[in-house]
Every structure is written in structure tokens, then in C-alpha cells.
Structure 1
């Protein structure tokens, strides 16, 4: 099958693709082509260029680093600095987060769940050697205690809201519950030396695939402060989400209790 690559152009309120007239009347399949890693690297370097003198390292992480990106996925970028600048900005699909080298080391010591998974799957844009020494850090009871304790508190609060059966609060419930689920899965993966995967996280939610997709969409929309799309989620779905995560929390907590 012949392949033709074209760029979509805007005409009025729509997008159009011009194809050879020989194809008139024929059926065509349109496949969205994502950005290559090299294109992403070039664009990231242009974004951080104004602050390069304060930059120690730049890393791609998240779904794009793991090769799990889907249409609409953010391109997550971690910038490690000398502490003289702090970047927190969104440029198109790029989500830029920065932290100083001192802050990175303190976080690894006291709350490793927030950054160690990022470092584990990160692809270096600048200074790959910097993070190699941190990738070998192990989870301990001390550097994960905060996350385990706050997850317990967060789930208790969510459970109280769920009992109120206030469906208007659903997006505000879905976001923290799924966020905690992802963090718990990161802990299990680090303890068990497994690779993190969003697909594996989805399997932990004991709901049909369509419901899980809607939950993930609601999670992303809430995270990005976007309007919540129409959905078919109901009270029973949110209850099952909570039950799935709480059950998994107890499993991960038992793993945590065995850490030194």
C-alpha cells in the first residue's frame, strides 16, 4: 500500500489535506504521525535556551520517554537547575517542570516516589551522566513513608466524599484517586524491579475498558483545568474505582512494611 505524508492545513474552522487528483473517489486511511524523538529534543532545547546558563540537566520523562504516548499526551520535561531559576510552564503540549539539584537530592531522601520513577525512565536531552548516580537509589521505609501516609489520608477523604453521593464532585474525586493509584504502582514497580506502565495501571481498575478510558480522560481534563467531557460514569463506577485503589493500597503497604 502506497504511503503519502502530508501536512494538515487550516481552512476556515477546519483542517484539510490536499491529495493528488488521481486519488479522487478512492478511500484513504489517515494515520496521525507523532513527533520523532529528535524533533522533540530540538524543540525542548529551544524552550530552555534562555536559561541554559542555569541548567544542569534536561530530561524527557513520562509516556513519551516510555513509548506509551497517545494522541493528546503531554510531553513531560524535567529541568534540573542550579537553583537560580525555577521553571514551571506549559508551552503547547510541553509540560516543563524544574527543580534545583539540592531539591532533587532532598526529595530523593525524604519522598523518593515523587522523582525516582521519573529518573528511572528518563531520556537525557542534556547531561545524561548526572542522573545515572541517582538511578541506583533504592526505596526505603524512610523515603516512602510520607507518600504511604498521605495516600491513606487522601483515600479516607475520598471515601467520605463518595458516601455523600455528590456526582458533581466526581472529577475532583477521580483525579486524586488515580494519581495515588499511579504513585502506588510506581512503588510496587521500584520494589519489584519492574517497568512502570500506564496499561498495567489500567488493569488494576476493576471496571470495563470503556469506563477506564473515561476515567483516564476525566483525570487528564481535571489535571489540565479543562472542561469535563460528556461521560457515562456513575456512582457505582466511582465506588468501584475507590475499592480497586484501596485494595491495591493495602497490597503496596504490605510491601512497604517489609522495606528497611
Structure 2
């Protein structure tokens, strides 16, 4: 089921499967990647209850092994609509017999989409409905359409002049790093940057990134709440992903104990977690 919200500036369409943003339009321009499976068949999946890949695709909790595929299960599950108005919609996913097979915790995940003037706010809320602590990671994976040549685009970083990113090896985070020296806080895009997969930033000073087209800003992603970030595309694909995260892939050194996972959030019983990022049209 697809739900559309709108205001005087633009419209957003969200699929109840995965509560995934599939369209964001303003003045007849589409800002979200179309999802062509030749390159990548997603648009903006929600990453929960893990971000990235677990070592051997499994974790341990209370002396039992559980299997979780890359980025978790939320992106493939049907959410229900809790609330809907012209410019706002609230989606909900609750623990079930299906989720408990892969993730032995009772939770509710809410995604709240709100249009405000020239901005789409995307809010995450995780409610611990269990009697024990819940460990989880959560993240965004929006892909932004780049209709012109890839090299015509650059990313402006709010605070950083140089960046250090971690390399992925076989989907796991290695201890190898490389430096990016920005030009006047800008990263000029080319496909060579992504020949070895995503750029993963454990630390980043900037809390917003602007996509520039032929030197002019077209869209800004604000992620003040999020400590980690991924930037990714497929080689020759006409999109760029700017991915605010809480957490990231395992390394080969991970013990497998979910409570010891680097970057994991531990949420106490009867508590809730909230975070928000936004997409702002320039």
C-alpha cells in the first residue's frame, strides 16, 4: 500500500512495505532514486534492528544463536498506519512470531513522516515493550536521484575539511582507513570512490550534507542526532546514498554477543528511543 502526503511545496509517497520512502517530488522534479533493479531495487530502506552486516550473519544472545541478514528485517516487513493526515503519516511495526525467530525482543518501531514547508522530516521511534533491555542499531538509506552526469555533482560538508573513512571487506568493517581531503569542504563525486563499496564514517563533525548539481545546491540532508554515516552508490548508477546511522557492520574481531557489538544501542525496559533526520529542498 502506498501513502502520499503533501503540502504546497512538494509531495512524498511512502510504501507501507518497509515504511519506505519511494518518492519525493517538488516542481515536477523527483529527488528519490526510482529503484531500477539493474543497479539497486530499493529507494530508501529502513535499517533495523541492525545496520550493515553481522559476522557470519548471526549474533548470540542468552547463549542462543540468531540469524539476521544484512540491514535487518524491517525493510522487508509490512507496517501498519497508526495516523494519517494531509502532511503527516505514522507507520508502526511490532514484534511478532516472525520477528522473534530472528530477534528475541518485544518492540515497536514507528516511522513518522512529516512535511514542513520545504523539508521532509523522518522520525524514528523505538519502544521497548519487553521486560529486559533491547539491543539494536537503526539507520537510514535514502538514495537520491542524480539525473545529470555523476561527475557534475559534489557533496558539501558543513564542518569538515578532511574526512577519514573505514573500508568494507566482504561486507564487514575492516580496520583499514583512507583519508578524503575536501576542496573547500566539498567532495567532488566520481565512481572510483565507490569501487570498494561504501564509505563508512565512524566519526564526522558535519551534521548536514548538501548535494550540489553543477555547483548549485539542490538538496540537503540534516542528521544532527546520528553519530555515524555511510555514503554509497553502485558504479555507473545515477544515484547517491547519504545514510545517517546508529551503528555499522561487524568486524572480524566481533565476539558475536549482540550486547558487546560496537555502536549498539541498549534500550532499557519500558523506555523509548527517538531520533530524526530531514531532507530539505534547496
Q: Normalising to structure 1: TM-score of the pair?
A: 0.25
Question: More strand per residue: 1 or 2?
Answer: 2
Question: More helix per residue: 1 or 2?
Answer: 1
Q: Relative contact order, CA 8 A, sep 6+: which one is greater?
A: 2
Which protein is bigger by CA-based radius of gyration?
1
Q: Normalising to structure 2: TM-score of the pair?
A: 0.24
